[in-house]
Amino acid sequence: MSTAFFYDEQSFWHSGGNYSFLAPVGGLIQPAATGGLPENPETKRRLVNLMNVTRLMDDLTVMRAPPASQIDLIRVHTGDFLTTFRKTSDKGGGETGLRAPYGPGGYELAALSAGQAKAALFSVLDGEFTNAYALTRPPGHHCLRDWQNGFCLLANIAIAVEAAIADGKTGRVAVLDWDVHHGNGTEAIFYDRDDVLTVSLHQERNYPLDTGDFKDRGEGHGEGTNLNIPLPPGAGHNTWLEAIDRLAIPAIQSFKPDVIVIACGFDAAAFDPLGRMLCSVDTFRQMTRRVLDLAGDICQGRLVMAHEGGYSEMYVPFCGHATLQEMSGSSIDAPDPFAETLRERQPGKAFEAFASGLIAEMADALP
């Protein structure tokens, strides 16, 4: 069984509103020369381009999937939310949440993105593939049941997970979010559930500003099935791997899921305009290797990744290439053009000791 790679050209056609970086144009905000939001198609399109140039794409099984159905969407989102979203989309687009604008056809493109995540998860649970990657766009991990947020129009991973549970394909799912921003939407949707573990590794107080605390562990039946791992700005390769090893992996091992789903953002990379971390291509390669080994140990290798953030047009493709190279076991490499530079830019021993102390405090506080 090979690695499946789900994407659709139409996902690159999603467009936001008249923004300059993160601020709406108007008043003293001049339109950006490059146009629009940091969440644009180029980071994803250039990942596809790079894999075509290196021929890594030949080592994947390229798939496309239909949009998520209305039934899929209503399991996660409220009826009023979906109605408003569709009507606004049909009228030419707009913004019905926070920093989540869309143009004409935004509803259909968001459903298409969720459909790729669903199909990727189903393909692994059905045994067609051992693992799968969904190049989802627009992203989804900030979207709440009734509120669009942070470029996210629908909760892609939650829609996929709920569909799989409803279909009887799984009863226990672990979601690991390593996007640099807190996965607040996925957390909120499953916060009182004991059949879905949500783990978010993120830069503390980046986005959203008021979520992602370590103390937030779930409630009701979900008490203990949410884990936030907030890291200080400036954390790099060693700190991220230590957090994975000492916090995320033990939590997932203890939960014993049927499948692991990764909310795969590449915005913890050093060159990202929306993060202040110092991760590199090798960080994502090593994290991928670790979760592949974990999945092999506890859930027959079943692993799915859904693309989230990552806004450096030049660097995201190399991070994604390394991730998919590991997933597929391919020998085709795309060497990191900044590997040596980023090794020199990693935090010093004093910072890493401080960050290691924070991770140890979190580990000691867990049951």
Q: List active site positions.
A: 142
State both tokens at 204.
């503390």
Q: Which amino acid is at 202?
A: H
Nearest to 214 by CA among 352, 108, 358, 312: 358
How far is residue 156's CA from residue 367's CA, in Å, rounded to a whole number?
31
Which of the 8 DSSP states describes residue 16? -
Burial of 331 by CB count in 10 Å (0-12 exposed, 13-18 middle, 19+ buried)?
exposed
How far is residue 47's CA from residue 68's CA, in Å, rounded to a whole number?
24
56, 228, 245, 363, 367 from 326: Cα distances, Å: 11, 26, 18, 28, 32
203, 235, 246, 247 from 364: Cα distances, Å: 20, 20, 10, 10
How far is residue 247's CA from residue 236's CA, in Å, rounded to a whole number?
16
Q: Is 71 helix (H, G, I), strand (E, B) or coil?
A: helix
Torsion of CA 155, 221, 199, 308, to 10 degrees: 0
How far is residue 272's CA from residue 312's CA, in Å, rounded to a whole number?
5
